[in-house]
Amino acid sequence: MLTNLFRVAGFDSTSASATWCLYALARDQRTQSKLREELLAFGREPTEKDFASMAAFPYFDAVIKETLRVYPVTDAERVALQDDVVPLKFPITKPDGSKITELHIRKGDSMVIPFICSNRLNAVWGDGDTFRPERWLGDKSLPPKDQMTQGWSNLVTFSEGPRLCIGVRLALLELKIILYTLIRNYTFALPHDNFEVDGYFFASLIPVVKGQEEKGGYMPLKVAHYEG
Ligand code: HEM
């Protein structure tokens, strides 16, 4: 049981995050080249400490954070143990113009907390759906801290509070090693111009190619050796 928890929690989520990062970079060749330039400029084999501090890799750090913001690969599910009222920071406007300002939860209700919605909320991020690593490269381009969550990097990707992912450090280290190795050695491009992918939540955020839904989760990308 514990092995399964670690396999699903630790393996699928990290590989799915790496996959979404490669997709984002395949869509954005300028960001991919800029990232490769920074990684190739590093003059030695990086250590675990280099990846923990990321001082030598500011753009890489921004790409990782932006990937985990735009593509949080899990959500959270909870069952209410008692009746409660949850106030909404950003009220929801109904079609008739009236506002929902709080949610009334009853004991036993099941809830899905969609992290992807918090991480992309336009009311907070302005252009929440846009993959733009530059937003992490200067304090002024991020939303005010009190509008963000209290999780890792003020995102809710690894949850927050006492049930925050216990594998967060390992996940980040794995992601950095995988992406560092791949981006230095290979280039990634979309298979064709009209290529579009949707994310479906099935244990983790699975990529499904539009028009090829019957194939299930996969991410076909054009991969070539980087020749320098
Ligand atoms: C990018 C990769 C990862 C993401 C986005 C992620 C995200 C999360 C989230 C959101 C939770 C809380 C779920 C909830 O409360 O319902 C969680 C819990 C957990 N994660 Fe991760 N995780 C990742 C990688 C890992 C790794 C590498 C490991 C360990 C090898 C791991 C082990 C766990 C475990 C054991 C829990 C349950 C903790 C508890 O219930 O207190 N995760 N993860």
What average pLDDT does the chain have?
A: 92
In 3D space, the residue among 67, 51, 78 whose CA is nearest the CA of residue 119 turns out to be 67
Is residue 190 over pLDDT 60? Answer: yes
Is residue 175 over pLDDT 90? Answer: yes
165 is in an annotated binding site: yes
- CA pair distance 183, 186, nearest whole angstrom: 5
Residues with CB under 6 A from ligand 1: 5-6, 9-10, 13-14, 17, 73-74, 76, 157-159, 163, 165-167, 170-171
Helix axes 168-185, 29-41, angle to 10 degrees: 100
Walk me through the domains of the chain, giving residue ranges and CATH numbers.
2-74+114-225 (1.10.630.10), 76-113 (no CATH)
- 73-131 per-position pLDDT tens digit: 999 999 999 999 999 988 999 999 999 999 999 999 999 999 999 999 999 999 999 99
- CA pair distance 20, 208, nearest whole angstrom: 11
- 132-165 per-position pLDDT tens digit: 999 999 867 899 988 899 999 999 999 999 999 9
Residue to mutate (ligand 1; options 3, 4, 5, 13; most atoms within 8 A of CB): 13
Helix (H) or strand (E) holding 208: strand 204-209
Which tokens is 188 given? 């990634």
Q: How far is the CA of 167 from the centre of ligand 1 (A)?
A: 6
